[in-house]
Copies of this chain bind each other. A is one copy, B any other.
Amino acid sequence: MDLNDTPEQAAYRARVRAWLDEHRDEAPPLRAPEGEEEAYLAARRAWQGKLAEGGLAGVVWPKEVGGQGLGPIEQVIVNQEISAAKVPGILDVIGVGMLGPTIIAHGTDEQKSRYLGPMLHGDEVWCQLFSEPAAGSDLAGVQSRARANDDGSWTLNGQKVWTTNAQFSSYGLLLARTDPDVPKHKGLTMFIVPMDAPGVTVRGLRQISGEAEFNEVFLDDVRLDADAVVGGVGNGWGTALTTLMYERLTIGLGSEGLGYRADRFAAPIAADPEARADSDVRKRLGELASELIALRFTAYRTLTALQGGRIPGPESALAKVTTVNAAIAATDLIADVMGPDALDASSEWAYAISFLPGLKSAGGTEEILRNTVGERVLGLPPEPRLDKGIPFSELRAKEREVTA
């Protein structure tokens, strides 16, 4: 058990730190200055490009596609040094962290050479077009429909939701149904969709806070060429699983990424002499802080597993459950201590209190996560599935029948 670098790791860390020292001045600030969102976005793209040139982006991507061909440990070292340098990381975490690896695993050589470079350098940002209004927890239930045309092209119709970065993305990786007459996991196909294609409409989706943290994406007769297919027609589910696996990986290695840290939550309480001596306040703070502190070492355990060649399983979902619930307990406590001012529109706490209920459902509701972990990790029997083996097109009828 050793939290220190090996000599090789220390040397790599030194090189990363040196590069950051040299280029720190070229980095944009951590957050967009009020009213300069547009310019800031451009600066973040440019900064991602510099990070890529410096070898600080796509660390785990294979060399032949422009990556560094290094391991998760080096990725973590880069993350640590970037946050220590107080400069922003790459802009397109979703693309480089989850969608790129999917294309690397399932894409054609043409797709790899066309898309991966611009993605890595931030010239083209990507978004993930999986979730739908009627297919959230049940991802395989997507209804977006891609029909094959005689010339081999496809016509796409449907609606996606909870899409991050869609408003400034160049491309989206989209899961659509190409065959409704087979069971739902079988009739799916993954596509690359140019976000500027005719028929693609992006609309901001406002959350409790009033801010649009996500988007809805509407697809009306969007025409896609035959080469837009990733991983083969009908193999969409398998392709999607790769993306989800890298999603877990990204979460597992960066559970503190959301900024829900114990010390941050302790600060406003420390500022109140009455509160910091109150046994109820201290108990609530101590209990939630202990859980958040645990996650730091859960991340190290994930990293250890990766170094041992093991891919983290669904149990990393538990880290998300812990984070969200501990953060809710923390912001509740802070508002109890500060009083109504914590709920002022300008307060970071009011923002967090508004953001957390949505985060609870983002990336799978807590109920679904617990199901998955119970079945895949503890090996508990699944719920009786009423949709097994039934053609997708007949599902709704079946649903009505069994619950009549």
In whole Å, how far is A368's beta carbon from the nearest beta carbon of chain B? 17
The copy count of this chain in the complex is: 2
Check A278 for interface membership: any CB of B closer than 8 A.
yes
Q: Which residues of B contact A402 (CB under 8 A)?
A: 384
Within 256-309 of A, Cβ neighbours of B (below 8 Å) are at 278-281, 283
Which residue of B has the minimal Cβ distance to A284? B280
Q: Which residues of B contact A279 (CB under 8 A)?
A: 278-281
Q: Which residues of B contact A384 (CB under 8 A)?
A: 384, 386, 402
How many chain A residues touch the partner (CB < 8 A)? 10
How many Å lie between the Cα of A283 and that of B281 in the bound state?
A: 11
In whole Å, how far is A91's beta carbon from the nearest beta carbon of chain B? 45
In whole Å, how far is A47's beta carbon from the nearest beta carbon of chain B? 48
How many Å lie between the Cα of A381 and that of B403 in the bound state?
A: 6
How many Å lie between the Cα of A108 and that of B280 in the bound state?
A: 62
Which residue of B has the minimal Cβ distance to A381? B403
How many Å lie between the Cα of A112 and that of B267 in the bound state?
A: 73
Q: Which residues of B contact A381 (CB under 8 A)?
A: 403
How many Å lie between the Cα of A401 and that of B381 in the bound state?
A: 12
In the complex, which of the residues B280, B386, B403 contacts A283, with contact meaning CB atoms closer than 8 Å?
B280
Q: Which residues of B contact A403 (CB under 8 A)?
A: 381
Which residue of B has the minimal Cβ distance to A382? B403
How many Å lie between the Cα of A278 and that of B280 in the bound state?
A: 8
Which residue of B has the minimal Cβ distance to A283? B280
How many Å lie between the Cα of A403 and that of B386 in the bound state?
A: 13
Which residue of B has the minimal Cβ distance to A278? B279
How many Å lie between the Cα of A386 and that of B402 in the bound state?
A: 11
How many Å lie between the Cα of A403 and that of B379 in the bound state?
A: 12
Which residue of B has the minimal Cβ distance to A281? B279
Q: Which residues of B contact A386 (CB under 8 A)?
A: 384
Of the listed residues A279, A283, A386, the one surrounded by the most CB atoms of chain B closer than 10 A to its CB is A279
Within 235-266 of A, Cβ neighbours of B (below 8 Å) are at none
Within 201-224 of A, Cβ neighbours of B (below 8 Å) are at none
In whole Å, how far is A269's beta carbon from the nearest beta carbon of chain B? 14
Q: Which residues of B contact A278 (CB under 8 A)?
A: 279
In whole Å, how far is A36's beta carbon from the nearest beta carbon of chain B? 46
How many Å lie between the Cα of A280 and that of B278 in the bound state?
A: 8
In whole Å, how far is A404's beta carbon from the nearest beta carbon of chain B? 9
In whole Å, how far is A391's beta carbon from the nearest beta carbon of chain B? 19
How many Å lie between the Cα of A283 and that of B282 in the bound state?
A: 13
In whole Å, how far is A333's beta carbon from the nearest beta carbon of chain B? 12
Within 389-404 of A, Cβ neighbours of B (below 8 Å) are at 402-403
How many Å lie between the Cα of A278 and that of B386 in the bound state?
A: 53
Of the listed residues A280, A281, A381, A403, the one surrounded by the most CB atoms of chain B closer than 10 A to its CB is A280
How many Å lie between the Cα of A283 and that of B402 in the bound state?
A: 46
Of the listed residues A281, A381, A384, A386, the one surrounded by the most CB atoms of chain B closer than 10 A to its CB is A384
Given contacts A279-B281, A280-B283, A384-B402, 5 further A-B contacts (CB under 8 A): A278-B279, A279-B279, A279-B280, A280-B280, A384-B386
- Between A and B, 10 residue pairs with Cβ closer than 8 Å are A278-B279, A279-B279, A279-B280, A279-B281, A280-B280, A280-B283, A381-B403, A384-B384, A384-B386, A384-B402
